[in-house]
Amino acid sequence: MRTIKTVIIGLSLIAINSMTFADDAPKPPPFGIKLLPGYEHEPKQGFDSIVGVIGKKDGLTIMYEIGRVPKPGGLALGGDFSDRPKQLRPEQREWYKEQVLGGKQMHVALAKDKGLYVSFPESGINFSVTIKSFDELTDALLMICSYSPPAAKPD
């Protein structure tokens, strides 16, 4: 009887240990974002949206938030998407651009405080990062522009 209990406890500990290692495995960023060498993705706990961070030690940190896209004229709820680049007032921006990337609308703004804001309005995602150099701007845009938003569902 004692041997059976020992075996069961041992197998349970092995199973728990295996689950711990599986949970420690890196989680891929959403929607196929390609990370540059040295960067890692860390999903965070959102309350009413999906949030996470992409970054590397001694490097830049890209934050993202994915929220529900409300229908035009519909009720807006907490956690719903709001277009961060477009909402920056002109006096807050160095520049603002709109582009179609992979068939999806993309809005990009660089704030005077060196915050880079990128949104994909159709899929409800905002990216934000503080830029300290042109190298960081390049890294941020290379990773953000690899985002492949899901196809829009027909109404």
Q: Residues 41-69: pLDDT tens digits? A: 998 877 777 889 999 988 899 999 887 78
In the prediction, which pLDDT does 51 show? 85
User: Which pTM was predicted?
Assistant: 0.76
What does the pLDDT look like over 119-150, one tens digit per residue? 998 888 899 999 999 999 999 999 999 988 66
Tell me the three state secondary structure of residue 100.
strand
Class at the top of the CATH hierarchy for domain 28-144: alpha beta
Cβ neighbours of 38 (radius 10 Å): 11
The residue ranges of every structural domain in the chain are: 28-144
Q: What is the pLDDT of residues 68-115, one digit of tens each?
A: 787 777 777 777 788 899 999 999 999 999 999 888 899 999 999 999
